[in-house]
Amino acid sequence: MRVPFLDLARTHDTIRAELDAAWHRVLDRSRYILGEEVEAFETEFAAYCGAEHAIGVANGLDALHLILRAHGIGHGDEVLVPSNTFIATWLAVSQVGAIPVAIEPDPDTYNMDPALAERAITSRTKALVPVHLYGQAADMTVLRALARRNGLLCVEDAAQAHGATFDGTRAGSLGDAAAFSFYPGKNLGALGDGGAITTSDPTMARRMRELANYGSSEKYVHRQQGVNSRLDELQAAVLRVKLRHLDAWNARRATIARLYHDALAPTGLALPQVDPRADAVWHLYVIRTDHRDALAAGLKRRGIDTQIHYPIAPADAEAYAGISVRGSSELGRRLGREILSLPIGPHMSDDEVRQVAAACLEVAETFHSPAA
Ligand SMILES: *Cc1c(COP(=O)(O)O)cnc(C)c1O
């Protein structure tokens, strides 16, 4: 039996009637941009995150970019970002003309190491953008305090962490503002692109909402040179349905993570570690081994799909070639060679989880026996 990395169709089938009702509602109303679905979703998502405001935007990259721009981060400013993240975190910084400074992760949680962040602060540093990588919130208690002490903006890249908490507080209300992605494969995913910003600062919320809508909050009155980055009514209607299932889906992910953890303990593979203050939502289940490529190949032969998040550190991307990238990416680079993401998601059956775990045990066995 083949085990796919992700099977969205299986999950959507379980809520098909609700999804059908949602898009028929939008078609019947025939309003597609900035209508009541977006407004309702924003209210519901803000409440879910424990933030005062949510602003629907076109995708997660735009959410990050709009936050930085609205807060006046721009040319020559330095922004601390993880050395190991999806490149969007870096691109948002570059898009506003600022300089990404790579901060290495804690080797256990893979999230931004606050002590290393502190050491990287200069007089040009204006913001830090920790990522809640793989669904585990970064140490926001320390990072936010660090930002406050140094007068820096603290932005959460929460694209992988819908519903995650740190010290009991939800992602989306752990910093000054947070960026979410609703790319279909995320824990809360649309049927296309989508994103949101959350914040509890009313002035900034208004500014970002304007920026995302041609710099306008009143038709044909343009107060800023904005962009067009909006969540649409169809996606908002779908997201409202899926938000109601998010906690159950995240709980299923946590169960799968626990099954993996128990089954893989004897393998010698480095398993994910969760900070006791964090409640992770397991966007990805990422293991680490010196034999990564052999493990991936062995699993493939046994019908199991895996992925790597991410094989190339942003500092090494061609996009940053010829630019002297600041900060260190040594560990980020090494993780790119050693990490492997196993299938996880609400679609997975216990049988599939057991099949993946059994295959890992089988393949890992060969790492320690003499070459055959
Ligand atoms: C997915 C993702 C993004 C970008 O989201 P898009 O909606 O694809 O633009 C940003 N940061 C991280 C960490 C992500 O995983």
| Torsion sign across C-alpha atoms 157, 73, 176, 44 | negative
- Pairwise CA distance, residues 352 & 340, whole Å: 17
Q: Which two tokens stand for residue 227?
A: 């962009």
Percent of the chain with pLDDT over 90: 97
pLDDT tens, 332-360? 999 999 999 999 999 999 999 999 999 99
The ligand 1 atom at the shortest distance from the C-alpha of residue 133 is 13
Mean pLDDT of 253-263: 98
90 contacts 264 by C-beta, under 8 angstroms: no
- Pairwise CA distance, residues 161 & 49, whole Å: 11
Burial readout 319-344 (b: 16 or more C-beta within 10 A, e: otherwise): ebeeeebebbbebbbebbebbbbbbb
305 contacts 285 by C-beta, under 8 angstroms: no
195 contacts 173 by C-beta, under 8 angstroms: no
347 contacts 120 by C-beta, under 8 angstroms: no
Taking 70 as the threshold, does the pLDDT of residue 366 lie above it?
A: yes
Does the beta carbon of 111 sit less than 6 angstroms from any atom of ligand 1? no
Q: Which residues pair with 304 in a beta bridge?
A: 3
Does the beta carbon of 61 sit less than 6 angstroms from any atom of ligand 1? yes
The ligand 1 atom at the shortest distance from the C-alpha of residue 194 is 7
The ligand 1 atom at the shortest distance from the C-alpha of residue 195 is 7
Taking 60 as the threshold, does the pLDDT of residue 372 lie above it?
A: no
Query: Domains in the chain, ordered, with CATH?
Result: 8-243 (3.40.640.10), 246-366 (3.90.1150.10)
Percent of the chain with pLDDT over 70: 99
Instruction: Calculate how far, in angstroms, residue 179's C-alpha sits from the geometric centre of ligand 1.
Output: 9
pLDDT of residue 370: 57
Q: Whose CA is nearest to atom 14 of ligand 1?
A: 159
pLDDT of residue 369: 65
Residues with Cβ within 8 Å of residue 317, at least 6 apart in sequence: 87
Q: Residue 188: pLDDT band by 50, 70, 90 thresholds?
A: very high
Does the beta carbon of 155 sit less than 6 angstroms from any atom of ligand 1? no
Q: Residue 325: pLDDT band by 50, 70, 90 thresholds?
A: confident
Q: Residue 162: pLDDT band by 50, 70, 90 thresholds?
A: very high
Instruction: Calculate how far, in angstroms, residue 64's C-alpha sits from the geometric centre of ligand 1.
Output: 9
Mean pLDDT of 36-45: 98
Q: What does 10-29 look like in DSSP terms, one character per residue? A: HHHHTTHHHHHHHHHHHHHH
Helix axes 88-95, 60-70, angle to 10 degrees: 40
Q: Indicate the average pLDDT of the chain.
A: 97
Does the beta carbon of 89 sit less than 6 angstroms from any atom of ligand 1? yes
0.85 exceeded by pTM: yes
pLDDT of residue 282: 98
